[in-house]
Amino acid sequence: MKLELASLNFKNSSISERERLAFSEEEIRRIIHEIKKDKSVSGCVLLATCNRTEIYLSRRIDKPEMDDIYGEEEEKDIKKEKSAGELLLEAAGIFDFKGSFETKEGRDVAFYLSELASGLKSQILGEGQIVTQINNAWDIARNEKCTDSVLNVLFRNAVSAGKKVLTNVQISGVPLSSAYAAFDLIMKHYKDISDKKALIIGNGNMGRLMQQLLYEKGCDVVVTIRGYAHGNNTVVEGCKKISYAERYEYMEKCDFVVSATRSPHRTVKPEKVKRLSKIPELMIDLAMPRDIDAAVGEFCTVKNINELGFKTDVDEETLSRVYEIVEEAVSNFYHWYSYENSLEEIERLKGAMRKRLYGNFRNENIEIEQEEAVIELAVDKCVKMMIGGMHEFLDADKIKECRRKIEGRTRG
């Protein structure tokens, strides 16, 4: 199996590009099933958050003897397999995408995912939410039966590393997420919010965290609820709630707005804001795709997740402790992965050695009792001696090279 990753993230893309690849859970389920239809794909996991969309693939490697059993034209066709990014875009029905993916293969994928789960790739360094998001993406793929043993071991090790970092290494003095960054921006803007009124659009995890942070500072907080008949309508004690349809009516009474929904549609539109008798001076958008239309910025200050002022550094001692955990996770995975990838080639090596020994006995007219048992014993001891010399990881390519040399010198 071959690991492959294609990542569109906050470092290599604009927010508008990421919006096009912001998928709902229902869309994720459909897309991974579509990708799995490709004959080269053994397993896939699709991670979609505010700051990144990433496809992780475990791909079948064509049999090692491909160059011997296929002609040149057929071999060229085999090498034209679609990249992970191409498979994702095709499955999503996006054919005019101009952005570019960050790509990785093999061990680099394992290292990247463990770094990501440990909070080292987040906009907010040390963010704890990402490990939950990774685990959820893996759960979705497993429940849809779209993973394989390689991806299951890869994600299990990475999630374990992320949880270990959260438990044992304090990267920051406060829990980190986009909500904390937004809260910090609000406090820097107003200094004191005890006399301010805020509208929170959305009552998911991010919305409830914002409620808590603002209310604790004395802010008058109102939260929109989409429907009273279903969903989680419990708001933080002390905060008020209104229906989603009433948001513009209350917006006229508030100083700032924070929107954090999972809606695929804009929650704040410029034509509606323009008609308000009083427009809030600050609006913060924590959603992906964006909740607040960019044109609203003509009437007030609008900040999105790309503009929150994130923590991007950490002291070397702390970073060293995190990387110890990351390296351990990658090493654990790669020991398993290299062994798994080498099993088939080891059996081919044994076959080549048997053939060589049988050929030598025949050509030299050597006859011994229990010939088959003797050859099996010799082959097993030789193979164990050889792979025992690969101290860190079994290397399928080196085993293959050795086997081919044996085949090339086999007589008869």
* Residue boundaries of the structural domains of the chain: 2-174, 178-307, 342-409
Which band of pLDDT confidence, cut at 50, 70 and 90, is reported for residue 223? very high
- Report whether pLDDT(318) > 60: yes
- Report whether pLDDT(201) > 90: yes
Q: Give the whole-angstrom CA distance, residue 399 versus residue 401.
A: 5
Q: Which residue has tokens 């053939």?
A: 355
Burial class (CB in 10 A: 0-12, 13-18, 19+), 225: middle
Q: Using one digit for the tens of pLDDT, what is the confidence trace for 14-53?
A: 999 999 999 999 999 999 999 999 999 999 999 999 899 9
Q: Using one digit for the tens of pLDDT, what is the confidence trace for 207-217?
A: 999 999 999 99
Supply the pLDDT for residue 27.
96
Residue of higher predicted confidence among 290 and 61: 290
Supply the pLDDT for residue 66.
38
Q: What is the mean pLDDT of residues 122-131?
A: 81
Supply the pLDDT for residue 73.
47
Q: 337-353: buried (b, 16+ CB within 10 Å) or exposed (e) per residue?
A: bbeebbeebbebbbebb
Q: Name the CATH topology of 178-307.
A: Rossmann fold (3.40.50)
Q: Using one digit for the tens of pLDDT, what is the confidence trace for 147-185?
A: 999 999 999 999 999 999 988 887 655 456 788 889 999
- Report whether pLDDT(76) > 60: no
User: Do 123 and 10 form a contact (C-beta atoms < 8 A)?
Assistant: yes
Of the listed 50, 146, 219, 254, which one is catalytic?
A: 50
Which band of pLDDT confidence, cut at 50, 70 and 90, is reported for residue 262? confident
Supply the pLDDT for residue 308.
81
Q: 261-294: buried (b, 16+ CB within 10 Å) or exposed (e) per residue?
A: beeeebbbebeebeeeeeebebbbbbbbbbbbbe
Classify domain 2-174 at the CATH class level: alpha beta
User: Do 220 and 196 form a contact (C-beta atoms < 8 A)?
Assistant: yes
- Report whether pLDDT(390) > 90: no
Task: Determine which of 149-153, 161-165, 281-285, 375-379 has the lowest per-residue pLDDT on average.
Answer: 375-379
- Report whether pLDDT(286) > 50: yes
Which band of pLDDT confidence, cut at 50, 70 and 90, is reported for residue 369? low
Over pLDDT 70: what percentage of the chain? 84
Helix (H) / strand (E) containing 201? strand 197-201
β-pairing, 282-285 vs 301-303, is parallel
Supply the pLDDT for residue 70.
37
Residue of higher predicted confidence among 65 and 360: 360
Q: Where on the phi/psi map is residue 43: left (φ > 0), alpha (ψ -120 to 50), or beta? A: beta
Supply the pLDDT for residue 213.
93
Supply the pLDDT for residue 105.
94
Q: Using one digit for the tens of pLDDT, what is the confidence trace for 224-251?
A: 987 654 455 788 999 999 999 999 999 9
Q: Give the whole-angstrom CA distance, residue 316 versus residue 321.
A: 9
254 among known catalytic residues: no
Supply the pLDDT for residue 144.
97
Cβ neighbours of residue 68 closer than 8 Å, sequence gap 6 or more: none
Over pLDDT 90: what percentage of the chain? 56
- Report whether pLDDT(6) > 80: yes
Q: Kindly report the pTM of this predicted structure.
A: 0.74
The closest alpha carbon to 151, from 7, 342, 36, 1, belongs to: 1
Query: Tokens representing 223?
Result: 């939260």
CA distances from 166 to 59, 74, 117, 153 (A): 31, 50, 10, 20
Q: Using one digit for the tens of pLDDT, what is the confidence trace for 88-116?
A: 999 999 999 999 999 999 889 999 999 99
Which band of pLDDT confidence, cut at 50, 70 and 90, is reported for residue 384? confident
First to last CA, the chain: 33
- Report whether pLDDT(357) > 70: yes
Supply the pLDDT for residue 412.
52
- Report whether pLDDT(9) > 60: yes
- Report whether pLDDT(192) > 60: yes
Query: Tokens representing 265?
Result: 């549609």
